[in-house]
């Protein structure tokens, strides 16, 4: 059996940076919270819990004003209002927002202050999108599908600034942009999809198209992993979405000659290597 592992599989720059920052803070032996799970990976969150790092909900319940704790903002980023609430609490803030996401925050704030209507292409319930929307006073219109784009009506007298969730499907983004372009709005399109996301999605599609079976590894709540699964499934119907090796049914690969493997941006390298080694050992 030929096993091909995507070079882009696993932690992206922003996620690795955030996770490293949390482990660094955990070593200081003081009370540490992450604002929401640091990444969409249950194994990493559980390991951090054992090291005394707890998950804080975004309503900041349980956090006393002036409490001597460190609160870490995850790579997804947060709204301006939530950041201000943390400052008011008087806690130590460690900002692990991905630099690419922070750039979107600056763009959205500047364009909103200039009077533009903000359109975010992405998943409305994703924490990154919720955070971005918080930099234009939650006035953005969020569009996640071509159908929503077709039905979206904007003020024709207002300039439009369009940005994207960093992990959005690049092909879908282009389709949505094309739909809006035909509506004759005065629109400034900012392709804010992370380069690593584009590369990961493109590579996954190529490997899936050349494989008889495909394995996509990632957390069940990971948006970018679900998008990888969606992309791979179109190229290879025999695509499997797993979180860990325990979810892998090797019986499904008994008569397969080629298997491709990729993983979401929140998947630790240890899990990827474990799956890769196990598939190879069962040849």
Q: How far apart are CA 101 and CA 160, in angstroms?
A: 20
DSSP string of 166-191, one letter each residue: TTS-HHHHHHHHHHHHTTT--EEE--
CATH 1.10.1740.10 for domain 100-189, yes or no, is: no
Q: Give the C-alpha distances (Å, rounded to integers) separating 53 from 22, 82, 158.
A: 8, 20, 45
Q: What is the dihedral of CA 234, 237, 240, 241, to 10 degrees?
A: 30
Helical H runs in 4-70? 13-26, 42-50
Match domain 2-10+195-281 to its CATH number in 3.20.20.120, 3.10.20.30, 3.40.1010.20, 3.40.440.10.
3.40.1010.20
Segment (H or E) for 193? none
> What pTM does this model have?
0.85
pLDDT at 282 (0 to 100): 64
DSSP string of 106-169, one letter each residue: HHHHHHHHTTPEEEEES-TTSHHHHHHHTTTTT-PEEE-SHHHHHH----TTS-EEEEE-TTS-
Catalytic residue numbers read: 128
Answer yes or no: same fold for 2-10+195-281 and 100-189.
Answer: yes
CA 115 to chain centre: 28
* Residue-range domain boundaries for the chain: 2-10+195-281, 13-98, 100-189
CA 221 to chain centre: 10
**Sheet with 70-73, edge to edge strand ranges:** 53-56, 32-35, 70-73, 92-95
The tens place of each residue's pLDDT in the chain, 283 residues long, gives 899 999 999 999 999 999 999 999 999 878 899 999 998 888 889 999 999 999 998 888 878 776 789 999 999 999 999 999 999 988 999 999 999 999 999 999 999 999 999 999 999 999 999 999 999 999 999 999 999 999 999 999 999 999 999 989 889 999 999 999 999 899 999 999 998 888 999 999 999 999 999 999 998 888 889 999 999 999 999 999 999 999 998 788 888 999 999 999 999 999 999 999 988 876 5
Angle, nearest 10°, between helix axes 99-113 and 13-26? 110
CATH 3.40.718.10 for domain 13-98, yes or no, is: no
């Amino acid at each position: 059996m030929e096993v091909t592992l995507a070079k882009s599989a696993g932690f992206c720059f922003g996620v690795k940076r955030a996770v490293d920052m949390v482990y660094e803070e955990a070593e200081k032996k003081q009370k540490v919270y992450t604002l929401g799970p640091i990444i969409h990976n249950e194994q990493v969150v559980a390991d951090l819990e054992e090291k005394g790092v707890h998950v804080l909900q975004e309503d900041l319940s349980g956090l006393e004003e002036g409490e001597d704790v460190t609160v870490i903002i995850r790579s997804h980023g947060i709204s301006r209002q939530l950041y201000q609430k943390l400052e008011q609490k008087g806690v130590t803030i460690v900002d692990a927002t991905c630099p690419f996401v922070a750039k979107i925050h600056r763009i959205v704030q500047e364009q909103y202050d200039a009077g533009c209507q903000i359109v975010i292409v992405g998943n409305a319930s994703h924490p990154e999108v919720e955070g971005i929307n918080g930099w234009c006073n939650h006035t953005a219109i969020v569009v996640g599908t071509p159908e929503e784009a077709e039905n979206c009506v904007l003020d024709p007298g207002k300039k439009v600034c369009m940005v994207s969730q960093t992990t959005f499907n690049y092909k879908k983004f282009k389709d949505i942009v094309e739909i809006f372009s035909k509506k004759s709005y005065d629109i400034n399109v900012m392709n804010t999809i992370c380069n690593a996301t584009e590369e990961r999605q493109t590579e996954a599609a190529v490997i899936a198209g050349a494989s008889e079976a495909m394995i996509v590894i990632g957390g069940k709540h990971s948006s970018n992993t679900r998008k990888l699964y969606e992309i791979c499934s179109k190229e290879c119907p025999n695509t499997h979405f797993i979180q860990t090796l325990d979810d892998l049914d090797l019986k499904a690969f008994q008569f397969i000659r080629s298997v491709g493997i990729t993983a979401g941006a929140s998947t630790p390298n240890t899990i990827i290597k474990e799956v890769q080694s196990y598939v190879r050992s069962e040849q």
